Structure 1
């Protein structure tokens, strides 16, 4: 690192007792440093992007001659995610137009990233090279596809068999009155291309009626956004679970049941698969409890939250930023602020997707693993 600089989003604050808080007030991002002698505070103050590491170390030594090892403090602080290199050059893989378009993305990702990076654009570059299938362009799918396009996913393929109906317009954000009677895939592609002309958006009017057809659909893609509910919601999720495992790609699926909105997040080799979570929930319920997978009750807000949660999960699955909660189903109840959904179960022994063999070793039927750097990185705290 040539010119260390504390990121603007993580600018530090020093309390009267000498404790330094860095990283703002966002839970899971901030850290506190016990600094009774002011050594760390001086070092952080010097990290303003105008001095090299050697210059900071020398000034720290002059300010605190009693400090036995100024090099260690400076190097530890510079190696955290709270500090960036002011001399870093923007990547060649993004044009000036793209850097302007995604400048707010850049600020968000470098705030929540738990891994120190070179220039802070690494997450955006990963999104630019990503290829995602959005299956289902209803309430959830429209919002998910819009978010993925807006954030800069490089290739998006939209699939849906239906035509736009007037009743869709209360929550399916990609269509207008003039699109009624038009294939959803066609209308969605046209709209998304106006949202972001710097990415590739394609689509097809197609009904996925078997696991084999889903295998064919996702071949060559990096992730699946499952926003379809036909055939029955559980069946198509089982297909997605097995197809994505076989292809070695992650997937996220979401939906709504009245005000209850949920999203599942799954990745090869990490956490339980959908079928294991479903089995765990079935075992937890009282025998005979009916399972309601949703109905026609939906408004723009519940559909919007659903789609945005799916898109947010996919960002983490594709880049590791933020770290995705793989092997879980989570959600919110829009009419009960204290009702949160958090489902996590261990893989079932012998599960062909994510379980363990009789000898206790992990089963892994995937031939290609999705790399998630942040999932393997240790949290570095000064």
Structure 2
């Protein structure tokens, strides 16, 4: 880095015992440094965007006679690679237009905050989104929210698939439709709405029902991630099982989510982790198991769609908190009701073991 500075969201705090904390424990990205001599604290203080690394190391060494030049250089290098420091004078990003930079500036700020990989200019996650190809299967309560968020985030190519027409009963939760759309194909309405949300990306749609694993395999061909927001046919051995096997053969990740009364959950699966069928085998079956069981509000559907979109964005950008192969979510009636389930691959699983 030419002129490093600590990210404002990661401002360091020094505890009474000398420990330095960066990032904020509440955000899940905190780091703690044992710093009884104050070396790290001083180096971080010097990283204010006005000094190059060599000057920081020289001033650090001058402040502490016990430090060798090698020690000072190592401290500075370690902090620069920690992810809590950014370039105060970033390189220009030529791949995005000024219009795109204005549109996605807040997204860049978010990724700068959570990204612990040092970057040249901070637009790298947005460039990954721009080149991504995502298939959204199902445009109901979960899928309509998912599709809107992916379009707004700047996913470069979206393909929307759903067989249904808009019904009055959809309107309590499906964000893309209005009373005037009743009777129209969901794909037609969604295509129109989302193109007006973001005209800088390519969006296509296909009105079709997925009636077998071969049809699902056809649909995912050529896409980077599947957002599975459809719930028919139901499990066991329904559309999630088809996706599990088809995506494994294609070598792509997939995210599936929905609601089951007050339970909102999402599954993230793909290369590098246990598959859906292995994780499901380790979970006790729930009464009426399956997504989209009757009983839903706009809030529960919206949460499921936004969680799916969040995990798709994480897969595309590489900002993943864990390797694929788990379910997570919330139980809305329990303030402590965070859901997380991960189980190892079964011996002999043809997909992931």
TM over 0.5: yes
Retained in 1: the 8 A contact 2:141–2:305? Answer: yes
Aligned to 1:174: 176
The match for 1:124 among 115, 126, 135 is: 126
Q: Tell me, which stretches of 5 or more residues in structure 2 are unaligned? A: none
Q: How far off its partner does 1:291 sit?
A: 4.2
Residue 117 of structure 1: how far off its partner (Å): 2.2
Match of 1:243 among 209, 232, 246: 246
Scaled by the length of structure 1, the TM-score of the pair is: 0.87
- Please report how far the alpha carbon of residue 261 of structure 1 lies from its aligned counterpart in structure 2 after TM superposition: 0.9
Match among 287, 294, 297 for residue 295 of structure 2: 297
Give structure 1 regions of 4+ aligned residues with deviation exceeding 4 angstroms.
Answer: none
* Match of residue 6 from structure 2: 6
Q: Distance in 2 between matches of 1:230 and 1:301?
A: 22
Secondary structure class of the residue paired with 1:102? helix
The answer on whether the counterparts of 2:191 and 2:204 sit within 8 Å (CA) in structure 1 is yes
Structure-2 residue corresponding to 1:341: 339
Moved more, 125-134 or 188-197: 188-197
Q: Residue 130 of structure 1 contacts residue 318 of structure 1 at CA under 8 Å; is this kept in 2?
A: yes
SS of 1:337's equivalent in the other structure is: coil
Q: Which residue does 2:22 correspond to in 1?
A: 22
TM-score, L = length of structure 2: 0.94
For residue 40 of structure 2, what is the aligned residue in structure 1? 40
- Partner SS, residue 297 of structure 1: coil
Query: Can you list the C-alpha shifts for 1:267-319, whole angstroms capped at 9, x where unaligned?
Result: 12x221111122222xx56xxx7543242211100100111111111112222
In 2, Cα distance between the equivalents of 1:290 and 1:164?
29
The Cα RMSD (Å) is 1.6
The verdict on how the C-alpha distance between 1:95 and 1:305 changes in structure 2, with shifts beyond 3 A counting, is same
Give the deviation of 1:325 after TM superposition: 4.8
**Counterpart of 2:307?**
309
Q: How many residues align?
A: 349
Give a deviation string over 1:195-234, Cα, whole Å, max 9, x none. 1122111111111111111111111100100000112244
Do the aligned residues in 1 keep the contact of 2:136 with 2:226 (CA within 8 Å)? Answer: yes
**Gap runs ≥5 in structure 1:** 356-382
Per-residue CA deviations over 1:214-266 (Å, capped at 9, x if unaligned) read: 11111110010000011224400011011111111100001111111111100
| Residue deviations 1:31-85 (CA, integer Å, cap 9, x gap) | 1222233222221111111111111122222222332321121111112101112
Q: How far, CA to CA, are the matches of 1:243 and 1:297 in structure 2?
A: 30
Kindly report which structure 2 residues correspond to 1:231-380, keeping only aligned pairs within 5 A, or say none. 231-234=233-236, 235-268=238-271, 270-281=272-283, 284=284, 290-293=287-290, 294-355=292-353
